Structure 1
């Protein structure tokens, strides 16, 4: 098949265009307004002939004297709420996500704000295509005049050329950086006065596969700003990988504002055009572009010949319906939001249901209680209660024996036990705290996207600085076993350790009301023993009258009654001692839990709340997604 380009089809059309532009330059700005020559004169003549007809006034293409233009005011719909949610999402995420991650979302917000400040009556449609696809010929056919150059020279189109059907598009064209000398109006005729096309701004772009890098940059820049795009492909390059991989596939979410036109069908014999069109549809489906078939929203795909005009009226009719709907800008912005949201999905959508459950909180509290020695503190408090009871209610002979056993030792049994505690326990206690923090941070961050998981862990580890020392202080105040040693081994220095060693013992437990009676009973038993013993001694030495039974019974009552009183007191204090120990354990446990909650759990919970806030904003952004993401 012989390759025939659109310039081969349109020879002769390009020769007069430069002449027209030159003529326009000669006649330009004589009255302070731009006049592009032949087209403007024909427009004036047509307006004079049909003065009584309701014909739009053809203002100069430069639109210097632009009339009042209504600002972009989208109809009530989800777009304003989505833009607000995206704006809040970016604001809440700046402290947690890097600038590159939020760059696309920021660009979408900036472009949306810029587009909303401009006319809502106009729809900007770009005509894009590869070298030789015939896009300039199609552009001229839609405008009804040879506005864009066509020819054998490559690239023929070097800068964007715009054709506006109505006034008031200057701001939009300034945004596209289309120079005034390249702004045109359609040829006076059916195409120019078609009511459905009023508000259309058509832009012919350079070739997207041009050898000139600046041409490709202009294509990329303008495509990011227009409301819709018409992709013109030819039978030879419709399957070009550069077109599909660089443009169509990344813009699959913009299907509703996309037209794909198979041009130059006059070169295909018989049913070849239908076969090529079917294959083009297949490629677009593989690109993920939804096709607008059977009344469903999606891209418009059709075939035509810009040279012969076959299919051009149908395309013009489709564009007319598209423009008269005045929703192209809203659809484009919605598609841009969808694309930005899709890129941000990995940093906002979690796997599962991350957070701090009750079980994780309880396990964290258990680990801190274990590290601070809450159980040991409770047991020590219970032993202290029983020891006091034993001292108050025990027999004096038993107390004397215990004093004899402990005499000569450097300290009490508790202090001896502390002294014999292996030095590795200090490191073990600190490691337990660090392990507890690490586990709770991992539980809270489980399933979160990377940046938010990192933020949760940083909050936990930052809050955990000084936690072992704070727990040591709690243990010192409670007089927990080993608290003095742990206090001396912290980063705060040995001063705290000395203070702990001096005042680390807990206060004596309160005595129940019956303790004085028990002490009196034990003292009575002791007096009975002494009285009976003295009585017996007096009888033995002959001071008193003999009679062993009575003093022996009195002494036996004292000897037996003393241990009985002690045993009764020990049985009576078992419950209160246990409750006292449990209460001491509970207080230390609650103190450790409060310290851990304030330093670790609350900062982690705050980060999770922040994540839930941005997640809600992200859901709002994607709630009305047109791409189904």
Structure 2
């Protein structure tokens, strides 16, 4: 059961590490590099440790000067190794005491511990004085164990402090040794134990030299130390009151170490606690997930940008061009030629279908001025603010910047969107030809009537007999043709002008919808797309941080 439990913890750790790495990758370029550097160190350390022996538990013995670390190591190992180590050429190097040597070489190379002592097979942890028999089941180590004897963390040698800090971040279990004089040492608590509040499960605390205190004093010191530890987040930590000199309390400490070794979960627990620290550093950059850009927000942006691109001027040109074209077909033939003297509004803007400049994909709209550029900037800024509402920094700024990133070239893209819009500039209404035929018919009637009257006037002037003209309701037909043709032509022209205004408004509305759709297509690619991608990146980061922080 223990083995399967360890495998489950390892697989959960793998998921957390993968999620943490995903969060780190998503945060690159957004979150401060120093913060991500610390996360990368956790990932790198986890990758290295997990590739090395999982059968061994590395217990580092940390403590200040005079706390009795060396004597405690000797008592636990039943050797005089600590005194031998003190005579090494350099005391800056830690010493490894190893139970079950197989598989430890690469692990100790990674820990950078060249000085190693292998305990004989069956050696006990806490061999009782006078009874160091090999193979004794009482005190045997069931599994691989490495005890590291480390320099004093408060040593005046800077190199000692560097080694202690490095190995404090690498060992699986941290055994902190203190004494009645230094149990409240600020360096121990503020610089080491307090930052390791999340590592409670892999921290052991031993108050050495307990034989120097009376029972009441020992109770008082132990209670004070527990209060300090609780304030630092180690409320459930067990304080082992021990004496390396008399052996008091060493049995309980040794048994706890043996239990940790048997479970084979210390390395996973240590790395999981490291992940907790890394996740905590990223959580301040995480917040609620954001929805993608809504349809309403996209439409509002397109409308704002349509106004910024001069859409009103374009629609006005469409309306006036429609009325011009309608007048050219349905107007009174006598005066319709005057309309041709006015230039086509759409052609002036290079928006007339079939124009020779269509291939360049540009219009002839005036260059955007400061007011127009300010409108685009305001539209993008408003859009970015709406999308990023609820996000935390630096993601809020990243989303806003993504929405504004295309601003320099956006106006050019919008101009191209206007140019490719179908303005239906060559199409005609069904009634135009009908009205045109009627206009020519009434013009012909007017010409015939006027010609007939002119002929009758000429005959009378030359004193020829003037034939009597036929009449309709008492009105001579030549007069009826002439006057009726003029009146009918003008009336049809006025009627067609009214219909043309109505048709122009309807075409203007249709073209505006097409224009906005074309602009929407452009903004979707140029502005909405990058902002939506940044939101998805942020949401991915939020999900990855949550997954990395989950121990389930």
Secondary structure of the structure 2 residue equivalent to 1:271: helix
TM-score (norm 1): 0.71
How do 1:356-505 and structure 2 match up within 5 A?
Answer: 356-396=293-333, 399=336, 426-448=369-391, 450=393, 452-453=395-396, 455-457=398-400, 459-476=402-419
The Cα shift of 1:213 comes to 1.1
CA contact (8 A) 2:288 2:542 kept: no
Q: How far apart are the structure 1 equivalents of 2:92 and 2:368? A: 78
The Cα shift of 1:226 comes to 0.8
Matched, 1:558 2:485: yes
Matched, 1:586 2:513: yes
Secondary structure of the structure 2 residue equivalent to 1:466: helix
For structure 1, which segment, 235-244 or 267-276, has the greater mean C-alpha deviation from structure 2 after superposition? 267-276
The change in CA–CA distance for 1:112 and 1:362 in structure 2 (over 3 A counts) is: same
The aligned counterpart of 2:529 is: 602
The aligned counterpart of 1:22 is: none
The Cα shift of 1:426 comes to 3.0
How do 1:126-145 and structure 2 match up within 5 A?
Answer: 126-145=60-79
CA contact (8 A) 1:373 1:475 kept: no
Matched, 1:522 2:439: yes
TM-score (norm 2): 0.80
Matched, 1:122 2:56: yes
The Cα shift of 1:81 comes to 1.8
Q: Deviations over 1:244-280 (max 9, x none)?
A: 1111111111110011222333333343323332222
The aligned counterpart of 1:322 is: 260
Q: How far apart are the structure 1 equivalents of 2:93 and 2:16? A: 34
Q: Deviations over 1:146-183 (max 9, x none)?
A: 43239999xx9754233223332344333333333666
Unmatched 5+ stretches in structure 2: 1-5, 351-363, 461-465
The change in CA–CA distance for 1:336 and 1:365 in structure 2 (over 3 A counts) is: same
The aligned counterpart of 2:155 is: 210
The aligned counterpart of 2:179 is: 234
The aligned counterpart of 1:491 is: none
The aligned counterpart of 1:495 is: none
Secondary structure of the structure 2 residue equivalent to 1:149: helix
The change in CA–CA distance for 1:255 and 1:531 in structure 2 (over 3 A counts) is: same
The change in CA–CA distance for 1:321 and 1:203 in structure 2 (over 3 A counts) is: same
CA contact (8 A) 1:73 1:116 kept: no
The aligned counterpart of 1:177 is: 112
- Within the candidate set 609, 613, 616, 2:543 is matched to 616
CA contact (8 A) 1:161 1:183 kept: no
The aligned counterpart of 1:336 is: 274
Q: How far apart are the structure 2 equivalents of 1:376 and 1:111? A: 64
Q: How far apart are the structure 2 equivalents of 1:464 and 1:276? A: 67
The change in CA–CA distance for 1:191 and 1:284 in structure 2 (over 3 A counts) is: farther
CA contact (8 A) 2:209 2:243 kept: yes
The Cα shift of 1:618 comes to 2.8
CA contact (8 A) 2:318 2:346 kept: no
- Number of equivalent positions: 511
The aligned counterpart of 1:513 is: 430
For structure 1, which segment, 442-451 or 195-204, has the greater mean C-alpha deviation from structure 2 after superposition? 442-451
CA contact (8 A) 2:290 2:535 kept: no
Q: Deviations over 1:126-154 (max 9, x none)?
A: 1211222233332222223343239999x
CA contact (8 A) 2:26 2:538 kept: no
The Cα shift of 1:284 comes to 1.7
How do 1:49-198 and structure 2 match up within 5 A?
Answer: 77-91=11-25, 93-94=27-28, 99-149=33-83, 158-168=92-102, 169-180=104-115, 188-189=132-133, 193=137, 194-196=139-141, 198=143
Matched, 1:302 2:240: yes
The Cα shift of 1:91 comes to 4.6
Q: Deviations over 1:566-587 (max 9, x none)?
A: 3443454455433322222222
- Within the candidate set 250, 255, 278, 1:312 is matched to 250
The change in CA–CA distance for 1:258 and 1:205 in structure 2 (over 3 A counts) is: same
Secondary structure of the structure 1 residue equivalent to 2:369: helix
Q: How far apart are the structure 2 equivalents of 1:522 and 1:234? A: 115
Higher relative contact order (CA 8 A, sep 6+): 2
CA contact (8 A) 2:95 2:150 kept: yes
CA contact (8 A) 1:157 1:205 kept: no
Q: How far apart are the structure 1 equivalents of 2:546 and 2:86? A: 52
CA contact (8 A) 2:85 2:95 kept: no
Q: How far apart are the structure 2 equivalents of 1:83 and 1:415? A: 63
Q: How far apart are the structure 2 equivalents of 1:314 and 1:181? A: 26
- Within the candidate set 463, 475, 479, 1:549 is matched to 475
Q: How far apart are the structure 1 equivalents of 2:45 and 2:135? A: 31
The Cα shift of 1:516 comes to 2.1
Unmatched 5+ stretches in structure 1: 1-71, 293-298, 480-505
Q: How far apart are the structure 1 equivalents of 2:417 and 2:365? A: 21
Secondary structure of the structure 2 residue equivalent to 1:100: helix
The Cα shift of 1:327 comes to 0.6
